[in-house]
């Protein structure tokens, strides 16, 4: 099994949780500041494991300034083992698990260094402020988001977004964006010839685009096995700007939309009706009876960019 949830070499694990619960940290940025070191020279990876001690945590973190490599890097993830009773993460829905409900005028998670990973967190950003617009932003390069759920990014200007993936080779895998003011996912590499990736992600009920590729960068946005539905009403598309040069239509494939927009992809399935397990309760797993996308995805277990075969629940894809 090629799990999407990567681990670091020689992990040094700290814990995060509620005040009075005996965790190492109760503020995300305190851990971040303490681990702003040269991890390559130290030959260790710094990991923060989060405990579901409270209904939600009003917190945020700016991950930057550590020296990292593909072996030694920083990770934030739930404590425990996915699929077992020790698991502190979600069940593929935003209804349980470690939950950040951030209310200040600052990005909930920003990753400005390379190689970091955020795994299986639920993030809601609900603020009356107007300055910041994106809940989760990656810019550092080769960063990895796995199983992250972005729910209801809302600000007073009505222009809050779920994910903005911008650093070269930054990837989001098995992620969900729902109910954001504007778009769910922005795939927008900063420079020409860079690539950003969304694999097996779902974007639903966002105010504007489900997935969009930014302008001005050629062939930078790659989406495979992604589902977009109910985004933007009649004004915006589930997959926006497929005529834009920012989309890499050579490598993007097997995406599905509720509107006509996925027709521009290889093996794209457009105008589909999806059957979700319980959309009224924010359970966006595809039902086994679904005919819109179920069984139509590409096998990524030997993908040349990022090989994996598990889903948002940690189960092996058949």
Establish if 1 belongs to a structural domain: no
Residue 165 and residue 18 share a domain: yes
Establish if 117 belongs to a structural domain: yes
* pLDDT tier at 244, thresholds 50, 70, 90: confident
Instruction: Note whether 271 and 259 are within 8 A (CB).
Output: yes
Residue 120 and residue 65 share a domain: yes
Measured CA to CA, the distance from residue 31 to residue 16 in angstroms comes to 9
Residue 39 and residue 111 share a domain: yes
Establish if 311 belongs to a structural domain: no
* Structural domain that includes position 241: 183-303
Q: To the nearest 10°, report the CA torsion of 19, 20, 22, 27.
A: 10
Chain position carrying tokens 């995060």: 16
Residue 190 and residue 173 share a domain: no
Establish if 88 belongs to a structural domain: yes
Residue 79 and residue 172 share a domain: yes
- DSSP code of residue 253: B
> Once rounded to an integer, what is the mean pLDDT over residues 49-66?
97
Establish if 227 belongs to a structural domain: yes
Residue finishing a domain among 150, 177, 204? 177
120-129, pLDDT tens digit by residue?
Answer: 999 998 877 6
- Number of domain units in the chain: 2
Other C-beta atoms lying within 10 Å of the C-beta of residue 71: 14
Residue 150 and residue 204 share a domain: no
- Strand 170-173 and strand 196-199: the pairing is parallel
Residue finishing a domain among 177, 204, 233? 177
Establish if 211 belongs to a structural domain: yes
pTM (two decimals): 0.96
Element (H, E) at 41: helix 39-42
Q: To the nearest 10°, report the CA torsion of 31, 33, 38, 40.
A: 30
Q: Phi and psi (nearest 5°) for 20?
A: 85, 5
> Once rounded to an integer, what is the mean pLDDT over residues 93-99?
97
Measured CA to CA, the distance from residue 252 to residue 303 in angstroms comes to 12
Residue 213 and residue 158 share a domain: no
Establish if 308 belongs to a structural domain: no
Higher pLDDT, 61 or 134: 61
Q: To the nearest 10°, report the CA torsion of 157, 163, 169, 175.
A: -170
Measured CA to CA, the distance from residue 219 to residue 102 in angstroms comes to 34
Establish if 23 belongs to a structural domain: yes
22-36, pLDDT tens digit by residue?
Answer: 999 999 999 999 999
Confidence at residue 74, expressed as pLDDT on a 0 to 100 scale:
98
Element (H, E) at 15: strand 11-16
Residue finishing a domain among 177, 203, 228? 177
Shortest CA distance to 59 belongs to which of 96, 88, 32, 89? Answer: 32
Residue 258 and residue 118 share a domain: no
Residue 169 and residue 57 share a domain: yes
> Once rounded to an integer, what is the mean pLDDT over residues 215-233?
86
Instruction: Note whether 276 and 286 are within 8 A (CB).
Output: yes
> Is the pLDDT assigned to residue 309 strictly greater than 80?
yes
Residue 194 and residue 85 share a domain: no
Residue 188 and residue 170 share a domain: no
Residue 77 and residue 147 share a domain: yes
Element (H, E) at 110: strand 109-111
Confidence at residue 127, expressed as pLDDT on a 0 to 100 scale:
76
């Amino acid at each position: 099994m090629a799990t999407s949830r990567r681990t670091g070499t020689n992990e040094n694990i700290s814990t995060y949780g509620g005040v009075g619960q005996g965790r190492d940290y109760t503020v995300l940025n305190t851990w971040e500041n303490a681990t702003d070191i040269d991890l390559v020279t130290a030959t260790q990876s710094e990991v923060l494991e989060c405990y579901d001690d409270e209904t939600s945590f009003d917190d945020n973190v700016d991950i930057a300034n550590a020296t990292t490599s593909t072996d030694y890097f920083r990770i934030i993830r739930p404590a425990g083992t996915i699929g077992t009773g020790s698991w502190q993460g979600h069940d593929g829905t935003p209804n349980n698990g470690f939950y950040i409900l951030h209310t200040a005028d600052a990005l909930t998670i920003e990753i400005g260094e390379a190689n970091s990973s955020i795994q299986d967190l639920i993030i809601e950003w609900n603020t009356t402020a107007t300055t910041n617009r994106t809940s989760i932003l990656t810019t550092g390069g080769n960063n990895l988001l796995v199983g992250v759920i972005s729910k209801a990014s809302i600000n007073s200007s009505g222009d809050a977004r779920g994910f903005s993936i911008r650093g070269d080779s930054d990837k989001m895998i098995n992620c969900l964006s729902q109910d954001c003011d504007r778009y769910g996912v922005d795939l927008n590499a900063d420079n020409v010839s860079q690539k950003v990736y969304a694999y097996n992600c779902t974007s639903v009920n966002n105010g504007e685009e489900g997935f969009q590729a930014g302008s001005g960068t050629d062939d930078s946005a790659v989406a495979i096995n992604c589902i977009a539905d109910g985004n933007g009403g009649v004004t915006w598309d589930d997959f926006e700007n497929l005529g834009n040069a920012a989309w890499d239509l050579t490598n993007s494939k097997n995406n599905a939309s509720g509107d006509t927009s996925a027709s521009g992809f290889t093996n794209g399935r457009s105008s589909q009706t999806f059957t979700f397990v319980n959309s009224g309760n924010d359970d966006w797993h595809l039902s086994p009876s679904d005919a819109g996308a179920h069984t139509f995805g590409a096998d990524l277990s030997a993908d040349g960019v990022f090989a994996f075969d598990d889903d948002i629940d940690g189960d092996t894809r058949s």
